[in-house]
Amino acid sequence: MPKMNLSHLEVSLLFALVLSVVLGITSKKTSQEQINYGLKSFGYFVGALVGLSWLMYLGHR
């Protein structure tokens, strides 16, 4: 099994991507709703990731 070393950002983006797809599929009924929810969910994940990262960075200056 090859080894992989991902950074915190890369793991977070991977996690956000796969979870958004699963949440989209499992949370909504029609295909269009699922796509919209998946995209929105991914956007929220990334937004929260960047926002909280800046918050922690500024809080530790």
Binding site for other proteins (CB under 8 A): 1-6, 8, 11, 14-15, 18-19, 21-23, 25-26, 29-30
Decide whether 4 or 58 has the Cβ nearer to other proteins. Answer: 4
Q: How far apart are the first and last CA of the chain?
A: 41
Decide whether 26 or 58 has the Cβ nearer to other proteins. Answer: 26
Q: How is 20-58 classified by DSSP, letter by letter?
A: HHHHHHHH-SSHHHHHHHHHHHHHHHHHHHHHHHHHHHH
Cβ at position 27, least distance to other proteins in Å? 9
